[in-house]
Amino acid sequence: MPNPKSAIAMARTFRQLEPLGTRAHPLVFGVVLFLTSELMLFAAMFAAYYNLRSNSSVWPPAGVRLDLTESTVGTFFLALSSVAVLFVGRSLNRRHAQQTRLWLATTIALGVAFLGIAFHGWSKANFRIDSNAFGSLFYMMTGVHAAHVFVGLILLAALLLGVREQAFVGDRRAGAEGIMYYWHFVFVVWVGIWATLYLVR
């Protein structure tokens, strides 16, 4: 019979033996679960979109103008941003602070560019949230997504401010990992939204 260990010693064993080894770091695991739930949130909106679309004979409603070119540019920026964050991860692994900051700044700049294009798109659109069901869906989907981008930018900025030696290991490294997953998620969901609103329509 093995010696029963005290809970404190046991917890310490966890931290030492299984930080990122056989079991995932709780923060990373939690972020993945959170993103699953987020995916369902967007899925509900996609479902609503295609449900209403299938019920309507004219879709999008007559007179709705959508700027495919501009939104494609925005999508391109967000894609680049999602690629840039990969390099953030790589430089974190190499424990290279200067490089990490550089890539983080690039990621943030591309994200801000995306948001700017999104705002410009809203400001010149010829329909509003209260115009028709398409307008409601359009602004809800792009709005909720833009809010996600905004939150992501704040998290990335916080990461940028916190890049020091400690950021490369342990819980903080896991936090950075979570933010990167989140950022990829924001991009992947955008591809779906963009394809739905601008390509499939």
In the complex, minimum distance from the CB of residue 75 to other proteins, in angstroms, rounded to a whole number: 23
**Residues 6 or more apart from 9 whose CB is under 8 A from it?**
none
In the complex, minimum distance from the CB of residue 106 to other proteins, in angstroms, rounded to a whole number: 26
* Nearer of residues 29 and 119 to other proteins, judged by Cβ: 29
CB atoms within 10 A of CB 61: 13
The single residue among 29, 158, 191, 200 that binds other proteins, judged by CB under 8 A, is 29
* Nearer of residues 34 and 181 to other proteins, judged by Cβ: 34
The single residue among 140, 157, 160, 167 that binds other proteins, judged by CB under 8 A, is 140
175 scored as a contact of other proteins (CB under 8 A): yes
Tell me the C-alpha distance between 147 and 153, whole Å: 10
# residues near other proteins by CB under 8 A: 52
151 scored as a contact of other proteins (CB under 8 A): no
Return the range that interacts with other proteins (CB under 8 A); candidates 40-48, 76-84, 161-169, 190-198.
40-48
The single residue among 20, 26, 154, 200 that binds other proteins, judged by CB under 8 A, is 26
* Nearer of residues 39 and 112 to other proteins, judged by Cβ: 39
In the complex, minimum distance from the CB of residue 160 to other proteins, in angstroms, rounded to a whole number: 18
The full 3-state SS of the chain, as one line of letters, equals CCCCCCHHHHHHHHHHHCCCCCCCCHHHHHHHHHHHHHHHHHHHHHHHHHHHHHHCCCCCCCCCCCCHHHHHHHHHHHHHHHHHHHHHHHHHHCCCHHHHHHHHHHHHHHHHHHHHHHHHHHHHCCCCCCCCHHHHHHHHHHHHHHHHHHHHHHHHHHHHHCCCHHHHCHHHHHHHHHHHHHHHHHHHHHHHHHHHHHHHC
Site residues (CB under 8 A) for other proteins? 1-2, 4-8, 10-15, 23-27, 29-30, 33-34, 36-38, 40-41, 43-45, 47-48, 51-52, 55-56, 59, 61, 129-137, 140, 144, 171, 174-175
